[in-house]
Chain A
Amino acid sequence: DDDSDLAQISSTASTGVANFSATTLVLDTDDKEGDALTINFNEPELGVASGKSYQLLFDLVGGDFSGAEIKSIEENTTVTFKTEEVNQILINLGAEPDVAAEIQVKIETILSSDTSLFSEVSTLSITPYAAELDLSSKWGLAGDATVNAWDGPDMPFYQTTDKSLDAGTFVAYVTLADGEIKIRADNSWDTNYGGSDGVLEAGGSNIAVTAGTYKIVFNENDLTYSIENYSWGVVGSATTNGWNGPDMPFTYNPLFDNWVAEVTLVDGEIKIRKNNDWTVNFGDVELDGILDTESDNNIAVTAGDYSITFNPVTLEYSIK
């Protein structure tokens, strides 16, 4: 009845489309501190006075912003990002270094913790450079089964980008000798765990291991651990040992949380497989840069020196 008195937001209230200092951008790895991108937009005309703040949402074109990178800019309507900030956004979105990525951007006007307005989506083309991750942790493996035995420095546990793992989970990819290990913090025995059957306790007994290459997963909250045989390799007619292996090994690269193999190949085909057997193996049928397990998915290569990288979680790979 008295709807005329309602403080109603104008149906057209919007920040409009943002202005970008550039729509195509190649980020310069040597100018990390330099300004790369300035974005400004208009304050939305709500028609009512209400407190508001803004954030920018970035996603890859084709994404639905559910995994967007979010940058809060509070009450400002102009923001300038440094090169490394833009680069980090792209890397976090999973954009491939040195490849132009199509990025979509929208502006969120936050009216309350539960209520926002969104602008139209703009598209940018940005080429990121390879950025390093810092996955280091205070946790490490010590023991006579490790390279540096009981005194360390310890073989490191890394944080993981695998979102399926619980918070507080750390991973070590190690090759061990026969012997024993413990998990400890800061190369010191102040905090150390041992145990058995996947359960740890402070100051617990040493964990016996046999020689092998392993993935060790440790959860500092639950005090649990797991050890599995774990290695990746390149196999195939293009490799030295053909389709029967032993495979050309990948090594773990904590800077990008991926696996890298520097290999010399001949003309032929390759696949990537786990633990030198065919239980887990990948090829790429569409050659879309994402590994798959469909049949007839061998990847054809020509002779040359290659750097092969892949991520066993996202199954993204590259052969360069």
Chain B
Amino acid sequence: SGKITDNVTSSPLLGVNVVVKGTTNGSISDFDGMYEIRNVNMGDILVFTSVGFNSRELKVTSSTLDVEMVESTEALEEVVVIGYGTTTVKDATGSIEKVSTDEFNSGAITSPEQLITGKTAGVSVVAPGGQPGQGATITIRGNSSLSANNSPLIVIDGVPVDQGTTGGSSVSALNSINPNDIESFVVLKDASSTAIYGSRASAGVILITTKSGKLNAPLKVELNTNGSVGTVQKKLDVLNADQYRNTLIGSQNETLAVPLLGNSDTDWQDQIFQEAYGTDANLTISKGFESSAIRASVGYTTQEGLVKTSKFERTSGSLNFRQNLFDNDLKINVNLNGSITNDDFVNGGVIGAALQFDPTQPIFSGNNNYGGYYEWLNNDGSINNLAPRNPLGLINQSSNEAETKRAIGNVKLDYYAPFLDGLNFNVTLGFDYNERYGKTNTDPNAASAQNAQSITGDYGSLRRSTLADFFVNYKKEVESIKSSFELTVGHTFQKFYRENYANNPLISGTENSTFFATHNAIESYVSRLRYSYDSKYLLTLSYRTDGSSRFSGDNRWGNFSAAAFAWNISEENFLKDSETISNLKLRIGYGETGQQEINQDFGYLPVYQTSTDNQQYQLGGTFYNTIRPAGYDANIKWEESKTYNIGLDYGFLNNRINGSIEYYTRESKDILNQIPIPSGSNLTNQLITNIGDLENSGFEFSINSDIFQREDFNWNLGFNLSYLTNEISKLNVVDDPSYIGVATGGISGGVGNTAQIHQVGSAQSSFLVYQQVYDADGKPLEGVYVDRDGDGVSGGSSDTGDLYIKENPSADYLLGFSSYTNYKNWDLSFTMRASIGNYAYNNVASSTGNEFGLNSLSSNRNVSASILDTGFKNNQLLSDYYIQDASFLKMDNVTLGYNFKNAFKDDKVSLRIQTTVQNVFTITNYDGIDPEISGGIDNNFYPRPRTFLLGLNLKF
């Protein structure tokens, strides 16, 4: 017998389990922390376990044994899902980060990935803009590929989801999941963790677990609701009407443009932007029984966009049901998530039109032509085809509405074999179904409908995948050698089907449709061995064989192995009792991963493609849909990456201060890239083929600290920092130093121009530009560039030797900073993020900010206010003047909440009210509308709103 107390407060602990090790002989401590246990022999080992405390094992050396329990850093005992299994943080050997509900960003969040923006080192989440529902670009530790997919594999409750977008508009594959239903994100960063996903893991893996019911839990009802309003943070800097008139005077197009000037003063951005209102409501009911549990939720979200008429609406439901049978030997878990999303998209050209439309013109023409909107006309009153269209007309006279139905579900059967302790069979059957149907319509009176071949249309896509996993897991502890083993082997098969179609019937009545369907499949054999010695030394080995239908029989199968070793240094005797160091773990890992998301399913096969009806050729008066053999690379195969990772997890002062430090390098080879091939050797001029090598490396640091832990006052701070570099090390068959590389980064201002390049020795998508020469006052001299190749000539497009690489769009450093404070019933939290060393190309300024832009093709056009700084006459697209440092510090959100603890007589009822501001501020030197530009080319950017939100949470 003895007394069990907390090691810090020395207060007695109730309900601690005490078991004689290796037996079922046990007891539980009482209210005073006292326990008593019979039939114990000297030398027996007692195991003390309690939720929230580290378990202890003590040898019985006397009849009284008092025990101090150490409060567990939840973090260490916390269960973490990993691929095809779970582990605890303590036993993990790889670089894994978990972000759970209470750490999520709050605010008007329509797409789940926004929940973890800024929360984890090395993970970047960048939404392409402020259009509601648009999917963010997620990258883990930088890009690992050039032309193949750089997005991490996302696995929802064990079902890997299709990584593509759904067509029509770049809508997130995730946004049909209600963020309220998500329990946690687990980010697998290093290859020793991700290699279990083999050929789909090079870009990292994110495992999403949705909320589920708990056994033996009372009926719980939770209601969440909020309302929000979004406002424009910053408008594009274009000329106002007076500036426009003044700039025209004396410009090279003065004589053409001045007669076209109007008398109005219209801010077209004010016309197209609105205050964007949003609401969100979720109701969750859960109840646990002895051997079953259920959780059900419904959610309804609407979110307007900043551009008038754009809107996102989602109705979602989720159901989780668990049933344990046969004395808990069989566990059945069913998850079902479904949603219907309605998107109202705005015409993609609206923002560009608002930028360009002449500010001296009125909104309405005063007559009824073209819906009454002022438009640029030809002399005969017909529409001037090539002029910008009235932005408000574009919004109000055309529509693009899409409905997306999405369902993701799975059934898991877990069977613990009664005949062999530790043996477990697991079957998962999952599906992902994603169907979209959209309609476009333009008012026949609209200016944009004149001369159009088609003004109505519909489009759609269908993506579905099915998954069947079968796994066997065997766990064995061998005390005699202080070892535990866990072996997992399994087989998994997933197949995908995708189709896209569009119908845009011509006004003439002719059908005009396209249809494309494709499919692929992946089959894998997975095995993993985990070994632990004395809880100190941990070893994980994994091996996966993947077969992908995307490659020919010769290249179809790839093997991906990984090994990781971890040393729980703090478990060693010399640290075990340290008051200061509560956790110290060194991890070393190596893993091989692949990438087979290469944007084509049959790149290895010679195929013929039939032309559409508007690409026919006539022979003798008969029109033929042509057939064309496509170029192909019979030898196309996986991209392969090798990652080395070393990490140190630390925890001080009972883990009040904890975090980790990581260093990694990743070498990717046989990167798929589209490159020119020898003409005459194939059926096309460029092919996607395995050609490049790429190196990424980086350093990550994170720290979390409970600065204050008092009954009434708590303050937790989290900070993470990552440093990332990438370099292309090979790009071509011929190792030719004169090979300039692959142009990328298309820009506007003339067709086909690019401002970026993939070049050996540089980071991917580096900017390739001319070095601007400035006058003594720092004003750019038009057309004057540094003669970098020293041939005495500079500035011409024929003097490509003067082009040079200036920076790249990837950040060198990413920083995240979170704070949570509560005082009594109040709590205050915020998230800040910084990005350092990311550059952007200001294409708005470069393409329009010049005199030539003021007028062309018989219409006046507004231009970027950068013309006032440069005075450029013609566009200077490749001047490095437009490559700007887009480093920034942003406060993403700040939330103030109040919990009404005793507001209701029934203390089971809790009520919380919170207010959140999103996109609170941005500090940057960048001139454009927002420095956070995915890909680095800033053009036609849909602004991100600053959102004010009031929310309410009721539980009972």
Residues on A close to B: CB < 8 A?
1-3, 6-11, 46, 48-51, 75, 111-115
Contacts and interface: CB of A to CB of B under 8 A. Distances in A.
Count chain B CB atoms within 10 A of each CB in A49, A75, A113 and give the residue with the most: A49
Given A49-B788, A114-B874, A9 B783 contact: no
Given A1-B925, A114-B873, A51 B773 contact: no
Contact of A48 (B773, B791, B795): B773
A51 B874 contact: no
B790 interface: yes
A113 B778 CA distance: 19
11 contacts: A1-B885, A1-B925, A6-B772, A8-B773, A9-B784, A49-B786, A50-B773, A50-B785, A112-B795, A114-B783, A115-B784
Given A1-B925, A112-B783, A113-B783, A51 B795 contact: yes
Contacts of B781: 9, 111-112, 115
A50 B925 contact: no
Given A75-B792, A112-B781, A112-B795, A9 B774 contact: yes
Interface in B287-338: none
A6 B776 contact: no
Contacts of A114: 782-783, 872-874
Given A1-B925, A2-B885, A50-B787, A115 B782 contact: yes
Nearest to B776: A11
A60 B783 CA distance: 30
5 tightest Cβ-Cβ pairs between the two chains A and B: A112-B783, A11-B776, A51-B794, A114-B782, A51-B793
Contacts of B874: 114
A112 B782 contact: yes
B783 A115 contact: yes
Given A1-B885, A2-B885, A6-B778, A111 B793 contact: no
Contacts of A75: 792
Interface string B765-804: 0000001111111100111111110111111000100000
A8 B772 CA distance: 9
B794 A50 contact: yes
Given A114-B873, A114-B874, A50 B775 contact: no
Contacts of A46: 773
Contacts of A50: 773, 784-787, 794-795
A170 to B, nearest CB: 27
A216 B142 CA distance: 77
A45 to B, nearest CB: 13
B778 A8 contact: yes
Contacts of B788: 49
B565 to A, nearest CB: 44
Contacts of B772: 6-7
A75 B874 CA distance: 25
Contacts of A113: 783
B778 to A, nearest CB: 6
Nearest to B775: A9
B151 to A, nearest CB: 33
A48 B781 CA distance: 12
Contacts of B773: 7-9, 46, 48, 50, 111
B265 to A, nearest CB: 31
Given A51-B799, A75-B792, A6 B774 contact: yes
Contacts of A48: 773, 786
Contacts of B774: 6-9
A8 B791 CA distance: 20
A112 B797 CA distance: 12
Contacts of A49: 786-788, 790, 794
Interface string B858-874: 00000000000000111
Interface string B872-885: 11100000000001
Interface string B121-160: 0000000000000000000000000000000000000000
B767 to A, nearest CB: 15
Contacts of B799: 51
Interface string B739-776: 00000000000000000000000000000000111111
B916 to A, nearest CB: 32
Nearest to B799: A51
Contacts of A115: 781-784
A8 B776 contact: yes
B778 A51 contact: no
Contacts of B786: 7, 48-50
B526 to A, nearest CB: 50
Contacts of B778: 3, 6, 8
A46 B773 CA distance: 10
B325 to A, nearest CB: 67
Nearest to B851: A114
